[in-house]
Structure 1
Amino acid sequence: MNTVYLDNAATTPIDPEVIEVMSASMSKNYGNPSSTHQVGRKAKSAVETARKNIAKHFNVTASEIVFTAGGTEADNLILHNAVLNLGVKRIITSKIEHHAVLHTCKYLAATYNVVLEYVNVNDFGAVDLEHLESLLSSSEAKTLVSLMFVNNEIGTVLNVSEVCKLCKQYAAFFHSDTVQAITHYPIDLQKTPIDFMVASAHKFHGPKGVGFAYFKKGFGILPMLHGGDQERGARSSTENVHAILGMEKAIEIAINNLEGDKKKLESLKEYFISELKKVSKEIQFNGYLLDSDKSSYAILNVRFPVKNNMLLFSLDMAGIAVSGGSACQSGSNKGSHVLDEILKGEEADKTSVRFSFSKFNTLKEIDITINKIKELL
């Protein structure tokens, strides 16, 4: 049985070119970047070259990039620094953020007496900008706004430019979890002045276990991990050289092919929607649909007209890999905190499934999925 993989918001298959780069590094580039001999210096040079090349894609300097084990660590590093290093006394976020942000914010609020406030979102998961401005104007406390660029469950896209303007107007820091946005949307940090953002390589056909945090120049970084002075003292731990080089290659490939991949994924999503509507007129969608300014072209969250607790399992048994929400929560019985926030009454009880696409998906795979859904409904 061939697998149809439509859970790319959880993780993506590694690009063959990335595997080649990593394999070559594993066989030839085995030195510790902190070692002073030539083998170590070779590894250090490779890491720093990767840092410079990654920084160029976002129009920042290499010194503003800190390599981490992924997006969750990067979010934690940024949020902890905001409170413990930058003196933030208030955090404004939303209730539909990834748990890497939500749980960390709750921890910081409970541990360091940080005021935690939530901005309203509408039924599509879009942030209420008027409410955000009202919150920002209500206090002179040093504030951090933490809002994700693209929601990982429903694909709703934040109006980043407007949030940047409001944060600048009210002298607030702005952190955005950009895990689902990097390589899907062009990000020039000189034009879009986000103060802190994050990346996780496995979301764009790179390896798992590596990512980075971006800290705008001028902000000192207090490490969470101690025991060495790697990453200019920002993160102790020997750099994952092979994974970093793989991430560099994955970003290069994705950004160089961004427009072509975007058109393909938009076409797949549009076709999937049209075929789903043929299956049942009662099928609905969570979040926005085909407006790429408001909705990710890589994510589609479908609300079926029935409650079917076995739907995900049945699709899995048919070789179709999808998700009921965030992959981080798929093993629990808690359901989706995002859907709980935007859906009410009977709609919240219906079964919702997240389908997410990559450049490796095909129309044939969409047809296979549609046919199986017809059977199950």
Structure 2
Amino acid sequence: MKNIYLDNAATTPTDPRVVEKMLPYLNEYFGNPSSIHSYGRKARVAVEEAREVIAEFINCKAGEIYFTSSGTEANNFVLFGIAKTELIESGRKSVITSLSEHHSVLETCDKLADEGFTIHRAAVDKNTSVPPRNITELIDNDTSLISVIHVNNETGIINNIEELSAQKPLDIFLHTDGVQSFGKIKTDVNQLGVDAFTASAHKIRGPKGVGFAYVKSGTPLSPLIFGGAQERNRRGGTENVPAIVGFAEAVKIASKEMHNNYEYVKSLQKRFLEGLSSLNDNSFIINGEPHKFPYITSITLLSGYYNNDIEAILMYLDINRIAVSSGAACTSGALKPSHVLLNSGMKYEDAAGTIRFSLGATNTPEEIDYTLDILKILLRKFRK
């Protein structure tokens, strides 16, 4: 059995078709898209065609797409850009988010708090979802912006952004972090009812180092990066043309293959969940139920039954050629339990035994079966 990669929520293998499209822009079409000569014009055309592809995919105008270096930068750009501009224009300085957001949103909100903004963090339920009422009950006359993740990157729960959009006042701007959902499920920004949407290429078999922010026309926005007139004066810096071209190609592929990929990964998750059920004697739990997003399956080994040393658990799986994650960020070399699970009410000792399996269309049923076989041994090995 070859090495098995089940950490697709962290990053995905770049599609060879994407690499092929990028190569000419690393070689002969190397011009700066801000240059007026033929080299620059060739690069500019590629960037604008990519913008059109992405805009069509999420049902917006091309001029509402801003390219960034990552989903993290896109989240920073949108939150800082809207909150600070709205403070200047309306005086409102209250932002609402949730306790289950990606760190790129949580830490941006922490920084806004340091600068005098009021940050409200809505509670999550036991399944790690954010009920819209938990957000709307925090709204007041000072609220300018709401940011709630679309699909949680640790548990795969899908938040009801459409319902939240319908319930909030029209003059409050709504952002959703779509890094995990984009290219895997439908993300029509008009249907979602959002004013801003962010995503990244490397989660859908595109290159690392490129993301985008959709910002609806008329939404207040100021730059995060200064020093150039690129991206309509809102994001300085020479565009990463090869990565942008690769991103567009990944989106083209997703537009053709998303439905089939979804159904295929759903069948893999069903196989995996059935196998987990046969191993479970109530000694571990499966997070984020019900499972409507097949790409992420998170399990927690209960501390009453297992010695929850997550580093040892992940290393054991890696030694057996299975790459997964704990679903939590690695800070200063120490793996910490998921803030998402802790905020859903899970005990620290239990959360410390969490394994995130994130599937992709490149995985196979045989890999799922092998993983289940290794998990069966792991459960015995780490049993108290």
TM range (shorter): over 0.9
Aligned residue runs from structure 1 range 82-97, under 5 A:
82-87=82-87, 88-97=92-101
Q: State the alpha-carbon separation in 1 of the partners of residues 365 and 235 from structure 2.
A: 43
DSSP 3-state at the match of 2:11: coil
Contact 1:340/1:348, CA 8 A, preserved across alignment: no
Q: Give the residue type in structure 1 aligned to 2:147.
A: S
Q: CA deviation at 1:345?
A: 3.6
Q: How many residues align?
A: 369
1:161–1:223: structure 2 CA closer, same or farther, 3 Å change rule?
Answer: same
Q: Whole-Å Cα distance in 2 between the matches of residues 56 and 330 of structure 1?
A: 41
In terms of mean alpha carbon deviation, does 328-337 or 190-199 score higher?
Answer: 328-337
Superposed CA deviations along residues 288-334 of structure 1, whole A, max 9, x for unmatched, are 133x2xxx210000112423311111001111100001456594333
1:1-377 matches, cutoff 5 A? 2-87=2-87, 88-111=92-115, 113-136=116-139, 139-167=140-168, 169=169, 171-282=171-282, 283-290=284-291, 292=292, 296-305=293-302, 306-309=306-309, 310-326=312-328, 331-345=333-347, 348=350, 351-377=353-379
Q: CA contact under 8 A between 2:8 and 2:359: conserved in structure 1?
A: yes
Contact 1:76 1:101 in 2 (8 A): yes
- Is contact 2:264–2:361 with CA below 8 Å preserved after alignment? yes
Q: Secondary structure at the match of 1:263?
A: helix
Contact between 1:67 and 1:210, CA under 8 Å: does it hold in 2? yes
Post-superposition offset of 1:25? 2.4
Between the aligned residues of both structures, percent identity stands at 40
Counterpart secondary structure, 2:334: coil
SS in 2 for 1:28: coil
Shift of 1:341: 1.1
CA shift in 2, pair 1:360/1:4, >3 Å: same
SS of the aligned residue for 1:360 comes to coil
Report SS of the residue matched to 2:63: helix
What amino acid is aligned across from residue 99 of structure 1 in structure 2?
H
The amino acid across from 1:303 in the alignment is T
Structure 1 residue 238 displacement after superposition: 0.6
Conserved? CA contact 2:54–2:248, under 8 Å? yes
The question of whether the paired residues in 2 share the 8 Å contact of 1:226 and 1:236 is answered with: yes
Structure 1: which 5+ runs fail to align? none
In structure 2, relative to structure 1, the CA distance for the partners of 1:370 and 1:329 (3 Å cut) is farther
* TM-score (norm: length of structure 2): 0.92
Q: Deviations over 1:207-240 (max 9, x none)?
A: 0010001110113532121111111111111100
Q: SS state of the match for residue 126, structure 1?
A: coil
Q: Which amino acid aligns with 2:162?
A: S
Query: Secondary structure of the residue that 1:122 maps to in structure 2?
Result: coil
Q: Which digits, 9 at most, give the CA deviation of each residue in 1:30-87, with x for residues without a partner?
A: 1110111111111011111111111111111111000000100000000111222122
**2:374 aligned counterpart, secondary structure:** helix
Q: 1:331 to 1:255 in 2, by over 3 A?
A: farther
Q: Distance in 2 between matches of 1:46 and 1:328?
A: 36
Matched residues in 2 for 1:45 and 1:140: separation? Answer: 44
Structure 1 counterpart of 2:106, one-letter code? L
- Give distance in 2, aligned partners of 1:220 and 1:42: 31
Offset at 1:151? 0.4
Tell me how far apart the structure 2 counterparts of residues 84 and 303 of structure 1 sit (CA, whole Å).
Answer: 39
Cα shift at 1:242: 0.4
Q: Deviations over 1:109-145 (max 9, x none)?
A: 111x111111121100111322322212xx2114211
